[in-house]
Amino acid sequence: MLFESAERLSAFVALAATEQLTRVAKAQLASVDADFLAELASDESRRIKATVTLSGDHLSIDRNGETLDGPLNRS
């Protein structure tokens, strides 16, 4: 699961621990940087063609010939 902020990811993990949801431990959880999301949202086109690449703790999106990249923060 990919979250829009580290705070949202932390809140989800805390809630899962409180509710004793053990299956969450099997999921891969990460969040992206707010600046990365702002840059991604800067294109207001209704449709875009994009290639998404996940490599370790790094997210890269090639959008219409423009490459956006940023770190993934894993829990």
Rg (CA), the chain: 14
Q: Per-residue pLDDT tens for 14-72?
A: 999 898 888 888 888 999 988 988 998 888 888 888 999 988 889 999 988 899 999 99
Give domain limits for the chain.
Answer: 2-74
Residue entry with tokens 């990249």: 69
End-to-end CA distance of the chain: give it in Å, rounded: 11
Q: CA 58 to CA 70: how far, in whole Å?
A: 6
What global pTM score does this model have? 0.71
What is Dmax (Cα atoms) for the chain? 44
CA distance linking residue 20 with residue 13, whole number of Å: 10
Instruction: Enter the tokens of residue 8.
Output: 């949202």
